[in-house]
Amino acid sequence: MAICSSSSDSIGGKAKLAHALLLGVAIAASAAAAAYYGRGRRLRSRVVGIIPARFASTRFQGKPLIEILGKPMIQRTWERAKLASTLDRVVVATDDEKIAECCRGFGADVIMTSESCKNGTERCNEALQKLEKDYDIVVNIQGDEPLIEPDIIDGIVRALQGAPDAVFSTAVTSLKPEDGLDPNRVKCVVDNNGYAIYFSRGLIPFNKSGKVNPKFPYLLHLGIQSYDAKFLRIYPQLPPTPLQLEEDLEQLKVLENGYKMKVIKVNHDAHGVDTPEDVQKIEDLMRERNIS
> What digits encode the pLDDT tens for the residues 188-202?
999 999 999 999 999
Q: pLDDT at position 7, please?
A: 42
CA-nearest of 290, 285, 273 to 67 is 273
Residues 6+ apart with CB under 8 A from 270: 145, 147, 282, 285
Which residues on neighbouring strands pair with residue 137, listed in sequence order? 47, 228
pTM reported for the whole predicted model: 0.81
Q: Which helix (H) or strand (E) holds 160?
A: helix 150-161
Phi–psi pair at 240, nearest 5 degrees: -55, 145
- Write out pLDDT tens, residues 219-261: 999 989 999 999 999 998 999 999 999 999 999 999 999 999 9
Q: Which residues of the chain have pLDDT under 50?
A: 1-12, 14-31, 34, 40
In contact, 175 and 187? CB cutoff 8 Å: yes
Q: Which helix (H) or strand (E) holds 91?
A: strand 89-94
Measure the CA–CA gap between 83 and 71, rounded to whole angstroms: 17
